[in-house]
Structure 1
Amino acid sequence: MNPALKRHPVVAFLAATTAILLAISAALLPGKPARAAQLAGTVLSSATATLPPELAPLANGKRISYLSTDVRSIPITATGLILTPKTGKNNKIVVWGHGTTGLADQCAPSVSQAVFWPEARAAIAELLRRGWTVAAPDYPGLGTALPHPYLVGASAARSMIDSAKAAKNLDATLGTQYAIDGHSQGGQGALFANELAPSYDGNLTLKGVAAIAPVSNADLFAPLIPGTPAQGYLVMALYGLQAVDPTVAPQLILAPPAQARTGVLQSGCLYEILDAYDDLTASELLVGGALPAPVVAKLSKYANPAQKAPSAPILLVQGTADEAVPYVITAGPLLTQLSAYRQPVEFIEIEGATHDGAVFESTVQVANWISGRFS
């Protein structure tokens, strides 16, 4: 981790010690994983945050570290932002789930405005204008010493729900109703959170989930990525799987030319990673030029939402010109899968919108939809 990004040493020690003790108790004593979920959302540290210029006039920000849990229900430390509207504040909470930033600590949006993407700023600004407190988690492993389980939806989901708990723990005037608004990786995490919420969010009540260009059906499109400009996403996904499943060994899957470039995963963030792998052929990226079938199966297991019933209404937003998440995946299989459950699903198609453009063009529509759920 970049030393400049670390918390104060005393705070870091206390946070780490708390998480370790909770982890030991969860592992050794019966019933403790459930208690770990109850303690998740406990705020370990809080400091004033410098917000991007688009948000500074609208909100006061706190960068927090808080307890969350990993996919095994073991306590971990996570980080993020809590943004409180300066005017018109009500008692509702909205979680913002950011799109892909990278794998390394410097790729945590709460500490680096360079990866606090413009579309995220636009979406959050509209949420703040509605008077909602916004919880913006970094996701596990971004900004902490853990590896980041990139595209493991249940991992991001836990940190999203726990960030809402943390917001309420910081501000007793907030109510129990919350919604989730996520883009890309964050949209995927939002859909997973919708499945997890009834057994995980405690006294909170999830009212709705908006997912903009969410990652889904990875087993359908991941095998098509080798040899395309999206190869960096696939490399990150391999290391994301390894963070929760040690049987996934990227060093045995990546071909030597790709292995030679893995340093960028720690030295850079999203665009540096995409650039580093952009010019490789499929055979230079992967041994044999294709993803092994067991890896595709693991992507399906860990990265695909809609495997369980959602607990709250869903808004899907997708641009038809999306260059990162295929329109045909969201409008086809994902919409069909979600519609098979009992919760209502609304689909907004934005003609000609790119991956990020879908966020910019839907900020008001999404906020209006969330407002309807709160009503």
Structure 2
Amino acid sequence: MHPALRRLALAATIILGVSLLSAPANAAVLAGTVLTNATATLPAELSPLATGKRISYVTTNVNGGVITATGLVLTPKTGKNNKTVAWGHGTTGLADQCSPSASQSVFWPEARAAIAELLRRGWTVAAPDYPGLGTPTSHPYLIGNSEARSIIDSVKAARRLDTALTTQYVVDGHSQGGQGALFVNQIAPSYDSPLVLRGTAAIAPVSNADLFAPVIPGTAGQGYLVMGLYGLQTVDASVNPNTLLAPPAREKVSVLQSGCLYQILDAFAPLTAEQLLVGGALPDAVVTKLARYLNPGQTATSAPVLLVQGTADEAVPYIFTSGPLRSQLGAYSQPVTYTELDGATHDGAVFQSTTLVADWIAARFA
């Protein structure tokens, strides 16, 4: 974030926070308030299709405190129909330079493809960065309720910029963003008023951390686990990554601030499980806490769900989506549509499903 915008956003957070000390219920009213907006330079795949605004806006943390977040609002140049789709991006990193709205290097190609199809359908796209990416706070990586609040409030912010937008919205997300989309579906009844959620599409969503996290040590995906521990620390101060990570891993944690996703993955991938974690494994208590904050499907959904999963996913094994997650979501009253893409990789599932997902969204709006 530009230093001037950072100072303005921080000042606004302080002012708003002070004003809310005597009236915390006002936080819900302020959520979605646009603090700053500026014309955004969009990737080449999107600039012919939309105009863009980079915004900072008010959202709330998991305790209801007022914070600021950043993101993009993309408005179709042709065929606009006044419905909004929120795009939840996949993992980019933990540091400020890893915010997609400010750095096209982490505005992933699969995200561009998905958003392009949404714009072609005439939908305004709200694309939040998530709290802590581009703002002074730490990023609560994979904390589902944090992602969900910022996603919902980005839609509210889009409506503040464009009063022609209706209250109807759908959330479309990939990986971390797919997990966030599912959490939106859970918290919407208590958080998104006056919006009306029509459905959530989750592509290769993170889920079942209690099953997934214990098998990560010693694999190429260890960087995700390290980020997950720092994300957990933002909502549970008793979790100290420095006491969980082994010395060889602690020597590499500076990459969490100096780099983004691929630099983080490359830094931790060569380590053995014992070089990553003290004793080579996470304590059961930490696994339980990861599940508490990261797992979607623990409470009822409020709108239809589309799950899309590739069978050759190297980041989110398809067995977690096709088995436990599908079963967990299916236990509630809202319909769950599951689509499996044979041979699709983690990112490939997004490229292969752009039309499928957009058709499903169109049916939700219809």
Report the TM-score range of the alignment, normalised by the length of the smaller protein.
over 0.9
Q: 1:196 to 1:33 in 2, by over 3 A?
A: farther
Name the residue aligned to 1:156.
Answer: 147
Name the residue aligned to 1:17.
Answer: 11
Of the three residues 117, 123, 132, the one matched with 2:114 is 123
Amino acid at match of 1:23: G
Are 1:80 and 2:71 counterparts? Answer: yes
Q: Which runs of 5+ in 1 are unaligned?
A: none
Correspondences of 1:1-375 after superposition (within 5 Å): 5-7=1-3, 9=4, 11-26=5-20, 28-29=21-22, 32-375=23-366
CA distance in 2, matches of 1:295, 1:23: 31
Q: 1:230 to 1:167 in 2, by over 3 A?
A: same
After superposition, the C-alpha distances for 1:229-252 in whole angstroms (9 at most, x for unaligned) are 000000000000111111110000
Matched-pair contact (CA < 8 Å) for 1:313–1:344 = yes
CA distance in 1, matches of 2:19, 2:123: 36
> If the length of structure 1 is used for normalisation, what is the TM-score?
0.96
CA distance in 2, matches of 1:38, 1:99: 29
- Aligned to 1:284, the other structure's residue is in SS state helix
- How many Å apart are 1:271 and its aligned residue? 0.3
- Aligned to 2:227, the other structure's residue is in SS state helix
CA distance in 2, matches of 1:95, 1:124: 9
Q: Aligned pairs, how many?
A: 366
- How many Å apart are 1:6 and its aligned residue? 2.2
Q: Which runs of 5+ in 2 are unaligned?
A: none
CA distance in 2, matches of 1:111, 1:83: 14
- How many Å apart are 1:19 and its aligned residue? 1.6
Quote the sequence identity (%).
Answer: 70
After superposition, the C-alpha distances for 1:140-195 in whole angstroms (9 at most, x for unaligned) are 00001110000101100000000000000000111110000000000000000111
- Aligned to 1:244, the other structure's residue is in SS state coil
- How many Å apart are 1:25 and its aligned residue? 4.2
After superposition, the C-alpha distances for 1:308-338 in whole angstroms (9 at most, x for unaligned) are 1111100000001100001000000000000
Matched-pair contact (CA < 8 Å) for 1:48–1:62 = yes
Matched-pair contact (CA < 8 Å) for 2:6–2:136 = no
Matched-pair contact (CA < 8 Å) for 2:6–2:135 = no
Matched-pair contact (CA < 8 Å) for 1:38–1:202 = no
Matched-pair contact (CA < 8 Å) for 1:152–1:240 = yes
Matched-pair contact (CA < 8 Å) for 1:217–1:300 = yes
CA distance in 2, matches of 1:321, 1:337: 22
Amino acid at match of 2:2: K
Amino acid at match of 2:104: Q
After superposition, the C-alpha distances for 1:32-75 in whole angstroms (9 at most, x for unaligned) are 44320221000000000000000000000000000000000100
CA distance in 1, matches of 2:8, 2:251: 37
Matched-pair contact (CA < 8 Å) for 2:10–2:136 = no
CA distance in 1, matches of 2:246, 2:232: 18
CA distance in 2, matches of 1:80, 1:25: 24
- How many Å apart are 1:371 and its aligned residue? 0.3
Amino acid at match of 1:282: A
- Aligned to 1:160, the other structure's residue is in SS state helix
Amino acid at match of 2:10: A
CA distance in 2, matches of 1:228, 1:238: 16
- How many Å apart are 1:198 and its aligned residue? 1.0
CA distance in 2, matches of 1:160, 1:34: 20
Give the aligned CA root-mean-square deviation in angstroms: 0.9
